[in-house]
Amino acid sequence: MKIRSLANIYIIKTLILSSVLVALVACSQQSSESSKALDDSIAAKNTEYLTRDIKDDIFYFVMPDRFHNADPSNDNGDPNRPISFGGLDKTSKWAFHGGDIQGIEAKLDYIQDMGVTAIWMTPLLRNRAVQSDGFGHHGYWVIDFTEIDPHFGSNQDLRSLIDAAHARGMKVFFDIITNHTADVIKYKECHKLDGTFIKDEPGCQYKSTEQLQSGDVYTPFVLDAEKAVKFPEWLNAPKYYNNQGDSYWQGESVVNGDFAGLDDLNTSNPEVVEGMTEIFKNIIDEFKPDGFRIDTVKHVDLSFWQSFGPDIVAHAKSTGIPNFHIFGEVYDGNPAVLSKFTTAGKLPSVLDFGFHFNVKDSLFHNKDVNRLGQLFDNDDYYRDADSSPEILMNFLGNHDAGRVGFFINQGFDSVSEAEKLQRSVLGHAFMYLSRGIPVVYYGDEQGFTGDGGDVDAREDMDASLVEVYNDNELIGSRQTTAEDNFNQRHPIYQSLQKFAKLREQHKALRSGLHQNRLIDNTKRIVAFSRIDTDEKVEYLAIFNMGMQTQNVSLNVDSFSYSSVFGNNAKVQQGKLTTTLEPLSFVLLKADQTHKGSEIFNVTMPGTYIDNKRLFIPVNLTFGEQKALPLAEVDFYLVDKDGIETFISMDNTQPYRAIVMPEAIASMEELKVLVRDGSGNEMSKRFAF
């Protein structure tokens, strides 16, 4: 619904209310005050998105080209600019299919009705439409950082979408690239003068920094017709790029090599840092997005992020966007690798590939569920002075890795359709109830399966003409992708509505601490608590990831629990028992406020190095041991001058700080400050 329509409705209501008040009390002043209060209410609703905590959001990740085509006139891009024209072939999984920004705006009802509060779109800036290795339907081959790609619409179309979303209280996130641009630069040692490869096999062998220092270098050149195709203009100069050939995804080539042949920016160059920062400050100024997802983060020099992240967030605040959120793509499941970019790299958050891999392995590929306990125990990697695991972005599938349905078919191809549906729903429930922010990949709510990753996981939501998409059997539906798939009666879609409502109604599910409670691989049971540290009411989520009905028993602190979702539970003598059917879960809420235990003592057993991190564990002793002790431990470095620097906080067992070894180089002592659930404090110092 448009803002103007909403305003008209409220004006009518206000007039009716005014006439009633006049009739009753003959007081025009009261009528005026009521009208003003109503206008203020509308304004508050339309600006609430600005101040809403990112932990309160649910994301929908959508690829505009494959979502909905609302304007067929832009399907082929701009004929007046050949580099951004062409590539339309709705029968090819590789080519453009015609979806656009207007198509997303036209489907905002569908997206919002699912409970989604934030939309993240693949890159929209103007691309090289066609390269030798494919088509830019995905948006990751940018040549113009100042303009929307004509295949997707115009700058005004994007402003219209953002305004429409904001009017509904929804956020809009851009997918941005700082690592590379489209492939324009060639090398004389690798390419012919017409830009084609000298050898039959495409690609340019990577040259190491050691080779460059010895004089073994590439000679970059640009075809005459492409010397000024990039915007801003400084991006056309080869001196701003590494020019070392193609990455082989190891060693220094991860950062310095061309990503699949794309022109790799030298992100250690201060001029490049300044130039790219200015580009995306201008994007914020023009479009007012609510945050950025950043592509290929681990392929960029770490020093770039240390500057870029804080500068972008500060600029957004200066323009009136107080909660601008940034999360990066680091394609790695190791928390030591992922957390490097939120701690040393100063980015607020990353996509949690650890969550993705471990849920896929345990629930969709039937592997050991102990990995899920380890996943959350490793959250301490992300705790430092300016980041935390609570704002990691949880996801099950995406446009590169593949879909939930594909993973289920991989692991359980011969099981019933009902079981496949249960596994998808259970996986999404696990994502919505765990710590972190849920991200739904478009089409997963319709049971799309795909045939793998990359283009095999980029089906159309509109009726598709791609044969390799249309021969797939969807989960939870008898439809195929040959039909329109905006079905709000689909069981996965409706389940996501319910899970979104749970998060909305219960604060602890959005921002409460996450504590492992029971991991039983034999029974395939995973249980965790979520508890808001202000409300101090425990929510207990228990998942049966196996195919046998299980009786579950675990120690609890409350005398009774009520069912929020699923079966009830009984508590006798401090033990909770409940029964879970195969592939099901229960969500229970404690009927009593949690009472913490008084802290009795703090000891430090000794530090150690693991996974390129320094581990600083502490042991807490309480006067009364509880299943959920509720303590918060703050860690401070103390240097030779007695100056204290906060380095980490932990509020879940096991209590520890995990820090980069270089971060404690000047430390003389460690100060540990403990606050227990009863409000008591204890401070201790340990020689280091």
Q: Is 584 exposed, middle or buried (0-12, 13-18, 19+ CB in 10 A)?
A: buried
Q: Residues 190, 176: contact at Cβ < 8 Å?
A: no
Measuring CA to CA, how many Å separate 629 from each of 315, 462, 653, 676? Answer: 40, 51, 9, 8
Those residues with Cβ within 8 angstroms of residue 87's Cβ, 6 or more apart along the chain or in another chain: 76, 77, 95, 96, 129, 130, 135, 136, 137, 151
Measuring CA to CA, how many Å separate 267 from each of 123, 288, 532? Answer: 20, 25, 40
Token pair for 194: 């017409």
Indicate the helix (H) or strand (E) that contains 6: helix 3-25
Whether 473 is catalytic:
no
DSSP codes of every residue in 136-184? -TTS--EEEEEEE-TTT--HHHHHHHHHHHHHTT-EEEEEE--SEE-S-
Q: Residues 628, 515: contact at Cβ < 8 Å?
A: yes
Measuring CA to CA, how many Å separate 563 from each of 538, 591, 595, 615? Answer: 12, 10, 21, 38
* Residue among 65, 105, 149, 295 flagged as catalytic: 295
Whether 329 is catalytic:
yes
- In whole angstroms, what is the distance from residue 356 CA to residue 392 CA? 12
Nearest to 612 by CA among 297, 332, 306, 337: 337
In the block, which residue shows the tokens 């120690």?
Answer: 555
In the block, which residue shows the tokens 């020019």?
Answer: 243
* Residue among 105, 144, 329, 444 flagged as catalytic: 329
* SS3 of residue 54 by DSSP: helix
- Catalytic residues, by residue number, are 295, 329
